[in-house]
Amino acid sequence: MRPINLADCQETKEFVIIGNGPSAITLSYLLAGNWPYYKPSEPHPNIELNARLTSPSDSETFSDQLDLSTIPLVKRDLQYLSNGLPGRSRNPVSILFDALQHPDADIGSDIPTALSWSFHPEKSVSHLVLGSGPPGGSWQKMKDCNNTLTISLGTWMQLPNLNIRQWSCDTKRESRVPLGRVAKYYRDYVKCQDLEKYFLNNSQVTRLEYNEDDALWKVSVMEEKVGHFTISTPRVVLATGVNEKPNKLGIKGESFPFVIKSLTEFEKVLSNLDRTVCNDPVLIVGAGLSAADAVITARFEGIPVYHAFRRHPDDPTLIFNQLPGNMYPEYHKVHQKMKGKSLSTDYKAFPMHCISEIRANRTVVLTNLIGAEYNGLGDSTRTTLQVSYILALIGRRANLDFIYPKRLRSQLLQHPTQPFHSRNNPIAINPFTHECLNVEKLYAMGPLVGDNFVRFVQGGALAIANHFWSSSPAPISPSSSSSEDSPDDP
């Protein structure tokens, strides 16, 4: 397959997708002409969903004789199909797609997908996928993490129509899989599904702006080899994820070089660390899975750990209280340590503490939040620690700074006066098309709209492709000579 070149990029495409992670890859697969169909031969265990899939909605104008299994989901009424489905996403099409890909997965079933896929090359929609690194998005930053396992089951990490177990020739049928393997699967997926021609990797979108004069979006790109160029397009999809910028501690001393903000950076530090010179404990800040991974890594390397976090270890919203111990033994062990139940000389937890000052001599001041709350005097218990490094793993956030005018960044959000937050303040979208509520022809998917698991990001791709096919009967296509309907169309 001929790799994409700059001339290809500069033709006007129907879509420009910003980001090249699982969200963008799935959308590219659908836009390339790969369409999902419901397989009524293996009826979905949800009887109501099966009934809706096999009989049209009031607004669907298919002939009565038509077998609905010949109608791809990109042309069905998604509002009707997703009505009332229970699931772990705020977005109904994400729940629908997941219910079809992994029927009854949340009650532990391993029922095969209810979807079959068919390739219609004549239906491919021209598009360009731009991503700052190799295909796979955030996962490429984890490509060397072969000892850390996914939180999700391996099969939940897969993208349409390429079984991850078959791809990896996995005979052991492991439940969770190493992060590095998932990164490789996404890179290979783009190759195996013949999507490379749509991907311009290692390219950073530096500016996105709507041009009223020609009613097109202008996307400014900095590509590693060719430098800067601009593309115009009628539709843009934001699939940039939420891992771009580390959250700030917001305290004095945060910018000292011994304050690090990612596990990858920590691993680099560890590989060069001279233990004879630097033997003080590392202070890990945060109570999420990345902080737990850091505790595991530090303990594995024999480095003593101080661990400070704001919440109580029994707080039900803490991720550890939501993961069954038998499936996640490594995180369960860290949680026990956080509770003070598994004592060791090399680990000390500071629950309900925040870090209030970092000094140049590598001393850190922790404040006990309980003290602050109870004595009501604004005075609280403070502890000063000597550390070698501070590893602040307190979450990351989206970077929408490439969007102009600046005010648009906040106008896109559900609550424009508050900062973006994947769960509490995502980008506001039409739930059935994923088009931004406040901006036409700008779409958003993945964690930007609150879908934080790969299982769910894929429904956004269906919503966007479905909107395209229901609103654009004659798209610009690389092979635009063949935009007539295929025999399976109603």
Ligand X SMILES: Cc1cc2nc3c(=O)[nH]c(=O)nc-3n(C[C@H](O)[C@H](O)[C@H](O)COP(=O)(O)OP(=O)(O)OC[C@H]3O[C@@H](n4cnc5c(N)ncnc54)[C@H](O)[C@@H]3O)c2cc1C
Catalog residues that contact ligand X under the rule CB under 6 A.
18-24, 130-133, 137-139, 142, 150-152, 157, 204-205, 239-241, 243-244, 290, 399, 402, 446-447, 452-455, 457
Quote the least distance from Cβ 155 to ligand X, whole Å.
11
**402 or 469: whose CB is closer to ligand X?**
402
Nearest approach in angstroms of CB 389 to ligand X is 19
Of 452 and 483, which has the nearer Cβ to ligand X? Answer: 452
Cα(190)–Cα(28) distance, rounded to whole angstroms?
9
**Partners of residue 216 on adjacent β-strands:** 211
Length reported for the chain: 490
**Minimum CB distance to ligand X smaller for 146 or for 479:** 146
Taking the least distance from each CB to ligand X, the nearer of 347 and 453 is 453
Nearest-approach distance from CB 36 to ligand X, in angstroms:
19
Please, which residues bridge with residue 281 across strands?
none
DSSP characters for 276-300?
Answer: TT--SPEEEE--SHHHHHHHHHHHH
**Measured from the CB atom, is 155 or 290 closer to ligand X?**
290
Residue 463 burial by CB count (10 A; 0-12/13-18/19+): exposed, middle or buried?
Answer: buried
**Residue bearing tokens 């009501």:** 376
Tokens of 407: 């005010």
**Minimum CB–partner distance for residue 159 and ligand X (Å):** 10
Q: 133 vs 426, which CB is nearer to ligand X?
A: 133
Cβ neighbour number for residue 111 with a 10 Å cutoff: 12
Q: Which two tokens stand for residue 279?
A: 């033997």
Q: Residue 75 or 218: which CB sits closer to ligand X?
A: 218
In the complex, what is the shortest distance from the CB of residue 77 to ligand X, in angstroms, rounded to a whole number? 26
Distance (Å) of CA 102 to CA 106, 414, 456: 9, 29, 11
CA distance 457 to 461: 7
Q: What is the smallest separation between the CB atom of 400 and ligand X, expressed in angstroms? A: 8
Q: How far is the CB of 374 from ligand X (least distance, A)?
A: 35
CA-CA distance, 132 to 401, in Å (whole number)? 15
